[in-house]
Amino acid sequence: MVREIHQNSHEPHHKSRIQWVLSTMAGCLLAALPVFGNPEDPSQMPNMFKPQSSPAHAIFHLSLFVLAICAVIFVIVFSLLTYSVIKFRRRANDDGREPPPIYGSNQIELAWTVIPVLIVLVLFLATARVIHGIQQAKKPAEAIEVIAIGHQFWWEFRYPALGVVTANELHVPVSDTSHPTPTFITLLSADTDHSFWVPRLAGKTDLIPNRENHMWIDPDEPGVFIGQCAQYCGTQHAKMLLRVYVDSPDQFKKWVQEQSKPAQVSESAREGRRIFETTACVNCHAVSGTVADGRFGPDLTHLMSRDTIASGAATNTSENLRLWIHNPEAIKPGSLMPAMNLNQQDLDAVTAYLETLR
């Protein structure tokens, strides 16, 4: 009877251990799906194991090299540990006494000191070689220059030579071997620390106040590549997303031409423009050809040419845009954009006006 009670008392604990193991395995599988899965649009998966740019390829190969060395170390150590556990396991005739002390071998101690030092040296040299190759790359005359400015909590992109200013969605041309057109990015911060990271295109590079950092990408395939601010910068750090649109040369040229034009306003949106220009909106946002010339918020000249608003937090639809103007906290709690407290009529008019900014 006592034995049965003892066995039954262990059943819940045994079941909980099984459930924990199963849940852990399921979590590992879910975590691995973005790496090994086959989504509808693979280019939008932020997966460093599928590089599409020279810096990302260099980092990928370095990662495989480091993982291979670590795997060899793991196999050797695990094999020795398994051998020791089996070879020197407790015997039935063991009397429990301590074995006689045997002092170390100079050869063994020298080996386990020199070999790790050599491994660390090899990893250091391999890493330094990749870092030097990426940072010292020469800028060709055909390169596109972009200034990326990190704000709380959005991205500003300026193309000085092209006269284009946009936000959150970076457009670059594809760079093929026959006509390499890399994009060199100057990284600045308007407030606090940020970090520019598009895993499939390049490694992480920080944006630090009062400091100028640089990086470059040369995507070899058109598509949309998702990035993220990888440095905690405040409440909405997790929703400080970015998109890199890699266009064909013709598509990029067309995009530049459209972005260089001033804002077009239809007669039906005149009232919305008047409300926009007479409220605090103009203190933060800019719209070319109007009195709005703010720099604290994104440039809205071609707002409706973007797929998202609020730095990727919501798709750019009429409903989301209206909600974003009315109550930004509903989409992005902790954002620095204030609620404008417009009445329904003025809210509809301003939304209609912003929808004309293409």
Q: Once rounded to an integer, what is the mean pLDDT over residues 118-143?
A: 93
Looking at residue 334, its amino acid is G
Write out pLDDT tens, residues 179-208: 889 999 999 999 999 999 999 999 999 999
Residue 157 lies in a domain: no
> Tokens 């063994």 belong to which residue?
108
Q: How far is CA 46 from the centre of its chain?
A: 7
Q: Does residue 159 belong to any structural domain of this protein?
A: no
Backbone angles phi, psi at 103, to 5 degrees: -80, 155
CATH of the domain at 97: 1.10.287.90
pLDDT, residue 6, reads 46
Q: What is the pLDDT of residue 3?
A: 47
Is residue 162 assigned to a domain?
no
Q: CA nearest 54: which of 197, 179, 216, 225?
A: 216
Contacts of 162 (CB under 8 A, 6+ apart): 144, 256, 260
β-strand 144-151 against 183-189: which pairing, if any? parallel
Percent of the chain with pLDDT over 70: 87
Neighbour count for residue 43 (Cβ, 10 Å): 18
Tell me: the pLDDT tens digits for 337-346?
888 888 899 8
What's the whole-model pTM score?
Answer: 0.80
Residue-number span of the structural domain to which 83 is assigned = 5-135
Which residues make beta-bridge pairs with 245? Answer: 171, 224
Digit-coded pLDDT (tens) for 62-121? 999 999 999 999 999 999 999 989 888 877 777 778 777 777 778 888 888 999 999 999
Measured CA to CA, the distance from residue 18 to residue 26 in angstroms comes to 12
State the chain's mean pLDDT as an integer. Answer: 85
pLDDT, residue 215, reads 94
Query: Can you tell me which residue has the tokens 């740019």?
Result: 53
Q: Is residue 347 part of a domain?
A: yes
pLDDT in tens, 32-61: 444 444 444 555 567 878 899 999 999 999
Is 291 part of any domain?
A: yes
Place of tokens 């924990």: 20
- Sort strands 183-189 and 213-217 into parallel, antiparallel or unpaired: antiparallel
Choose between 2 and 329: higher pLDDT.
329
**pLDDT for res 112:** 86
Residue 260 reports pLDDT greater than 80: yes
Given this model, what pLDDT does residue 55 score? 94
Residue 199, in any domain of the structure: no
Q: Report the range of poorest mean pLDDT among 134-143, 236-245, 267-276.
A: 267-276
| The last residue of a domain, from among 75, 103, 135 | 135
Instruction: Give domain status of residue 279, yes or no.
Output: yes
**pLDDT over threshold 50, residue 162:** yes
Q: DSSP state, 182?
A: -
**CA 147 and chain centroid, separation:** 18
From CA 329, how far away is CA 305, in angstroms rounded?
24
Which is higher by pLDDT, 153 or 15?
Answer: 153
pLDDT in tens, 286-332: 888 888 888 888 999 999 999 999 998 899 999 999 999 999 999 98
| Residue-wise pLDDT tens digits, 272-281 | 888 888 888 8
Environment class of 167 (CB within 10 Å of its CB; exposed 0-12, middle 13-18, buried 19+): buried
Q: Write down the pLDDT at residue 17.
A: 56
* pLDDT of 264 strictly over 80: no
CATH number for the domain harbouring residue 301: 2.60.40.420
Domain count for the chain: 2
Say what the pLDDT of residue 132 is: 93
| Domain boundary, last residue among 109, 135, 161 | 135
Count of alpha carbons within 13 angstroms of residue 55, beta-carbon side: 24
List the structure tokens of 311: 């730095």
Residue 172 confidence (pLDDT) above 90 = yes
| pLDDT, position 212 | 95
10 falls within a domain: yes
Q: Which of 135, 157, 185 is the last residue of a domain?
A: 135
